[in-house]
Chains A and B, each alone.
Chain A
Amino acid sequence: MAGRKGLNKTLLVDGLKARFGDVIHETTVDKGEVTHLVDREKLLDICTFLKNDAQYHFNFLSDMHAADMHTVRPRFEVVYHLYSIPKKHRVRLKVKVDEGDSVPSVTSLWQSANWAEREAYDMIGVTFAGHPNLTRIYLPSGWEGHPLRKDYPLRGYKDEYNPFGEEKKS
């Protein structure tokens, strides 16, 4: 990208790997973005460190979302985009989770995760342990299924309100 600031690789890649080497499973640096695939169980530890350490100071959770890999196991990946307003750097954390397992909620660290996690639950169906109010956010509470899953049909399922939807496979 034109004009974007250079990446602090020593800090964001080497520094983190040295400290959390055993829980960071994979690290990619691509297009000036650092991504760490971290252990699901240790997510809160890393996030707490990243938020509170003066060198990293990731005080802003820019965004978080989940994605459905469908055929791959574990099926889902949950992605956190962290930003530090004082240090002006970004890092992306990923955790993998399968159906039925849950990811620790980061709402205790960043309140902005509240709605984001609800959205991920609503759209993909990933659950977050420790979330204060994990309910659907966009869709009505009685909705069946999670629309952003790859096996959810584009036009939804057929019912009395949706004559164009697909027949449900029972």
Chain B
Amino acid sequence: MTEQDKGVTTKEITIHMGPQHPSTHGVLHLFLDMQGEKIVKAEPDIGYLHRGTEKIAENLFYPQFVPYTDRLDYMCGMTNNLAYVQTVEKLLEIEVPERAQYIRVIASELSRIGGHLVSVGAWALDLGAMTVLLYAFREREMVLDLLEMLCGARMTTNYMRVGGVRFDLQPSFKEKCTEFVDILPKRISDYEQLLNENRVWLKRNKGVGIISAEDAINLGLSGPPLRGSGVKWDIRKDEPYLVYDRFKFDVPTGETGDCYDRYRVRIEEMKQAGRIIKQALQGIPDGPFNVDMPEIVPPQKKNVYKDMEALIHHFKYVSSSFKVPAGEAYSSIESPKGELGFYVKSDGSEKPFRLKIRSPSFVNLQSVDTMCRGQYLADVIAVISSLDPVFGEVDK
């Protein structure tokens, strides 16, 4: 290290950061080998929130697992639901009706905005700017209200199900949602005014935690951290799912791959998400919001209380679920954190034989070491915030 060259000799020490630390976004435990104020090696120690989600999945019926996916990346439950049900639908080889696809796009883009708002807000808070967090949560509240209109829940949504979505849009949803996406760009430019040229923000983020495009790909980064390094890869564009190929939107990228670029990418992505929602709201067709397959779609709950047939149907669905043909499928989506994929292997029964979650936060977190080496201790905070790990997802 350079300190030694200058004649300052310090002993290398290892310090623990976390797992109880306000700016590690959950229960991250880092072993930091330090030479003076500089990081020699940063080693994450994870698993404090491990709940054995994959083992649980093997012991549940396919539809019963949907609520568990909400608890993975709890900042944006909709995208987790989507990734899971999409994989099961791939195994069943069914295509959901167009209206459901549009609703799914709207829900997951709202989720993306909500997720990025927390990311940017908490990041600013970690670096000492509390105002941004409070503003971001004001807008996030609007997102959560919209999600509540969709499904009655705010964070653990459990909204999507195999074959469609649980409820149709409320009559006033379109209007409220349009209102929100109209306000959004103005609000985002408020954050940008607070941060973009903020001297402290620039000092803490510009040139900090640089990762080259080559390293980023090699480490398996995806989502905003990968695009911040200049790699233009977005699953919504490159392997379009749902109806994303019908919408016009840009994929923002950075140049240097530092924390500031990752911040810029997230801000731009929120604007683009607003654009997508607007187009989806205009283009949404009428029609059913579930496939017409009674064996995989339960009856509407309100009918269950007064209709005998619906009650029997409901009982059958809840008690014995449906069988999924033997085979395997992997399907991934662009979640706010990156590539969220589910691999399901079925043995032809009602429960998955093996389910593997490719969670973006888990893979992204590996790059902490590469990003932090040679940086100051204080920069670790900026780097972690810029990766935006969510521990429900890292630890599964």
User: Per a CB cutoff under 8 Å, which of A4, A61, A136, A137 touches B240?
Assistant: A4
* B242–A2 touching, CB < 8 Å: yes
* B238–A88 touching, CB < 8 Å: yes
- The contact string, 1 if C-beta is below 8 Å from chain A, for chain B 250-266, is 00000000000000000
* B343–A85 touching, CB < 8 Å: no
* B241–A62 touching, CB < 8 Å: no
Q: Which residues of chain B in 298-314 are interfacial with respect to chain A, using CB atoms and an 8 Å cutoff?
A: none
**For B90, what are the chain A residues with a Cβ–Cβ distance below 8 Å?**
1, 31
Which residue of chain B has its CB nearest to the CB of A112?
B220
Which residue of chain B has its CB nearest to the CB of A85?
B233
Q: Which of B139-147, B202-210, B329-337 lies at the binding interface?
A: B329-337
For the complex, is A59 an interface residue (Cβ under 8 Å from B)?
Answer: yes
* A62–B239 touching, CB < 8 Å: no
* A3–B343 touching, CB < 8 Å: no
**For B95, what are the chain A residues with a Cβ–Cβ distance below 8 Å?**
2
* B241–A61 touching, CB < 8 Å: no
Which residue of chain A has its CB nearest to the CB of B214?
A59
Residues of B in contact with A, size category = 35 or more
**For A2, what are the chain B residues with a Cβ–Cβ distance below 8 Å?**
95, 101, 241-243
Which residue of chain B has its CB nearest to the CB of A35?
B328
For the complex, is A92 an interface residue (Cβ under 8 Å from B)?
Answer: yes
User: Per a CB cutoff under 8 Å, which of B241, B339, B362 touches A3?
Assistant: B241
For the complex, is B363 an interface residue (Cβ under 8 Å from A)?
Answer: yes
**Given contacts A67-B345, A138-B47, A139-B50, A147 and B356 within 8 Å (CB-CB):** no
* A85–B50 touching, CB < 8 Å: no
For the complex, is B46 an interface residue (Cβ under 8 Å from A)?
Answer: yes
User: Per a CB cutoff under 8 Å, which of B220, B238, B353 touches A110?
Assistant: B220
* A62–B46 touching, CB < 8 Å: no
- The contact string, 1 if C-beta is below 8 Å from chain B, for chain A 136-159, is 111110000001100010100000
* A67–B354 touching, CB < 8 Å: yes
* B239–A88 touching, CB < 8 Å: yes
**For B243, what are the chain A residues with a Cβ–Cβ distance below 8 Å?**
2-3
For the complex, is B392 an interface residue (Cβ under 8 Å from A)?
Answer: no
User: Per a CB cutoff under 8 Å, which of B101, B239, B343 touches A65?
Assistant: B343
**For A116, what are the chain B residues with a Cβ–Cβ distance below 8 Å?**
363
- The contact string, 1 if C-beta is below 8 Å from chain B, for chain A 33-73, is 10100000000000000000000000111110101100000
* A115–B244 touching, CB < 8 Å: no
* A59–B217 touching, CB < 8 Å: yes
For the complex, is B59 an interface residue (Cβ under 8 Å from A)?
Answer: yes
Residues of A in contact with B, size category = 35 or more
How many A-B pairs have beta carbons closer than 8 Å: the answer is 106
* A112–B218 touching, CB < 8 Å: yes
**For B396, what are the chain A residues with a Cβ–Cβ distance below 8 Å?**
138
Minimal beta-carbon separation of B389 from chain A (angstroms): 12
For the complex, is A111 an interface residue (Cβ under 8 Å from B)?
Answer: yes
**Given contacts A31-B90, A147-B55, A62 and B217 within 8 Å (CB-CB):** no
User: Per a CB cutoff under 8 Å, which of A81, A123, A137, A148 touches B343?
Assistant: A81
* B366–A112 touching, CB < 8 Å: yes
Compute how far the CA of A123 lies from the CA of B233 in the bound complex, rounded to whole angstroms: 30
Scoring B55, B217, B219, B220 by chain A CB atoms within 10 A of each residue's CB, the highest score goes to: B220
**Given contacts A31-B327, A33-B330, A85-B233, A62 and B242 within 8 Å (CB-CB):** no
**For A16, what are the chain B residues with a Cβ–Cβ distance below 8 Å?**
none
What residues of chain A have their CB less than 8 Å away from a CB belonging to chain B? Answer: 1-5, 30-31, 33, 35, 59-63, 65, 67-68, 79, 81, 85, 88, 90, 92, 110-112, 114-116, 123, 136-140, 147-148, 152, 154
Listed A/B pairs (15) with beta-carbon separation below 8 Å: A2-B241, A3-B241, A33-B328, A59-B218, A61-B220, A62-B339, A63-B358, A88-B239, A90-B330, A111-B219, A111-B220, A116-B363, A138-B46, A148-B354, A154-B55
